[in-house]
Amino acid sequence: MKVDLTTAIFKKSQRSGDNGCVEVATNLASVVAVRDSKETAGPVLVFTKAEWSAFVGGVRDGEFDL
């Protein structure tokens, strides 16, 4: 899926440490973009809003706890 990221506003989690973390752009019309905060010019993962919502719900529900 090719997505125009020129208007993406990436935000880093408040819980992110000095070693970096991920940044998420939720301001795009139909997708959510995720990138490595240490390599902002690197690759970007793109998810539909529904996919991102399902992932966040799984995190909140402890689905990915080890």
- Is residue 54, in this structure, part of any structural domain at all? yes
pTM for the complete prediction? 0.85
Domain count, the chain: 1
- Is residue 2, in this structure, part of any structural domain at all? no
- Is residue 3, in this structure, part of any structural domain at all? no
- Is residue 4, in this structure, part of any structural domain at all? no
Angle at 44 between CA 39 and CA 1, to 5 degrees: 160
Better-predicted residue by pLDDT, 14 or 49: 49
- Is residue 15, in this structure, part of any structural domain at all? yes
Range(s) of the domain holding residue 32 = 11-60
- Is residue 50, in this structure, part of any structural domain at all? yes
pLDDT in tens, 17-58: 777 789 999 999 999 999 998 899 999 999 999 999 999 999
Q: Residue 23 and residue 46: Cα distance in Å, rounded?
A: 12
Instruction: For residue 29, give Cα distances in angstroms to 3, 9, 25.
Output: 10, 12, 11
- Is residue 52, in this structure, part of any structural domain at all? yes
